[in-house]
């Protein structure tokens, strides 16, 4: 698989993560839980969540629409790939070291989804890290 194909695959994976993430507010009952917070705290959480969604969408769309330029090995391309690699590496570390979602893994569907997301984070960290290092 060439670098452009890897980047397009990365773009699709990132957009798929957004689709899966759309289930989170309902599953974790955010409306009820965040309703217990003061308004400013609740608003900050929603705004931060929105910025994360926009960042992931941008990374996915840039990967899909500008794969050739991201694969060209230029300093800018490697820097962008490096940012994406760090983003997903940190997300993977948080998944392993901080989040404990066992209480919510109540069905085979959610267990498969959890493990699939973890695998997706690892794939993204590796693919973009590889390209950031100019190894492609």
**pLDDT tens profile 44-78:** 999 999 999 999 999 999 999 999 999 999 999 99
What is d(CA 10, CA 80) in angstroms, rounded to the nearest whole number?
13
Cα–Cα distance, 27 to 5 (Å, whole number): 33
Instruction: Name which of 4-8, 104-108, 112-116 the model is least confident about.
Output: 104-108
- The Cα–Cα gap between 29 and 114 comes to 18
Q: Where are the domains of the chain?
A: 3-132
Q: Which helix (H) or strand (E) holds 39?
A: helix 39-65
The answer to whether residues 71 and 4 touch, using CB atoms and an 8 Å cutoff, is yes
């Amino acid at each position: 698989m060439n670098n452009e194909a890897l980047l397009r695959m990365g773009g699709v994976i990132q957009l798929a993560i957004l689709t899966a993430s759309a289930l989170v507010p309902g599953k974790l009952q955010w409306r009820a839980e965040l309703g217990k917070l003061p308004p400013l705290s609740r608003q900050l959480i929603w705004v931060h969540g929105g910025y994360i969604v926009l960042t992931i969408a941008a990374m996915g769309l840039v990967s899909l629409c500008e794969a050739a330029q991201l694969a060209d090995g230029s300093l800018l391309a490697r820097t962008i790939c490096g940012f994406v690699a760090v983003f997903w590496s940190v997300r993977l570390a948080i998944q392993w070291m901080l989040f404990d979602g066992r209480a919510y893994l109540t069905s085979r569907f959610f267990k498969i989804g959890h493990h699939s997301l973890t695998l997706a984070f690892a794939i993204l960290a590796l693919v973009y890290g590889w390209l950031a290092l100019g190894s492609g």
